[in-house]
Amino acid sequence: MRRPLVFIALVSVLAISSWPRSASAQVSIWLQKGVSGVGAAVVLGYNKDQSTYGVNGGYSINGFVDLDLTAAYLSFPEDFGPGDLQGYAIEPRIEVHPLKQGPHMPISLGIGASAAKFFFVSDTLDSRDQTLDGWNVNVDASVYRFFKLAPRFGITPAVGAGFVHSWAGLKSRSGTDSSTDDTFRFAVGTYFAYLDDGGRIWGVAPAVSVGDDDVTTVSVQAGIVWPL
pLDDT the model gives residue 76? 82
Give the pLDDT confidence of 113-135 residue by residue, as tens digits: 999 898 888 888 888 888 888 88
Q: Is the pLDDT of residue 224 over 60?
A: yes
Q: What's the domain count of the chain? A: 1
Rounded distance between C-alpha atoms, residue 216 and residue 46, angstroms: 9
Confidence of residue 6 (pLDDT cuts 50, 70, 90): very low
Rounded distance between C-alpha atoms, residue 190 and residue 144, angstroms: 9
Strand, helix or coil at 202? strand
CA distance to 41, 154, 216, per residue, from 45 (Å): 13, 24, 10
Confidence of residue 23 (pLDDT cuts 50, 70, 90): very low
CATH of the domain at 170: 2.40.160.20
Q: How many CB atoms lie within 10 A of CB 110?
A: 23
The range of the structural domain enclosing residue 46 comes to: 4-227
Question: pTM of the prediction?
Answer: 0.86
